[in-house]
Structure 1
């Protein structure tokens, strides 16, 4: 039974860190200036304002996807733990 407790704690750590990064994506992008690292393959077609907005939105989406990928193992672990705990 204690093995399940460790798995629950591990799953919560993954889920909390993943969902926190999804929730705080705008703050993370602004703090670490991630929009400067975003690459745009069609820069010549955009105005300066559109390019800045595109890079900002792309950086936010990248952080949110990363956060979701971090939270996914936690969700899977929770499903496994509770399905084993029921039987």
Structure 2
């Protein structure tokens, strides 16, 4: 693989990462996270991810949100 292609793929991964981050923020807002608690909620959500889980789909996301609400109710309006 040439350097130009690697650079292109790195930029694509960065763009996708930004989009995923934005989608997570929207998910947290729709779940009731207060804007003033957003960064803390993001950090707590990411900390709560199961690093050993190979699958990560809708059910896992919902479970992680439920867990976040239970462990950090102060993030929510």
When normalised by structure 1's length, the TM-score is 0.34
**Looking at CA atoms only, which structure, 1 or 2, has the larger radius of gyration?**
1
Q: Which has the higher contact order (CA 8 A, sep 6+)?
A: 1
Structure that is richer in helix per residue: 1
When normalised by structure 2's length, the TM-score is 0.38
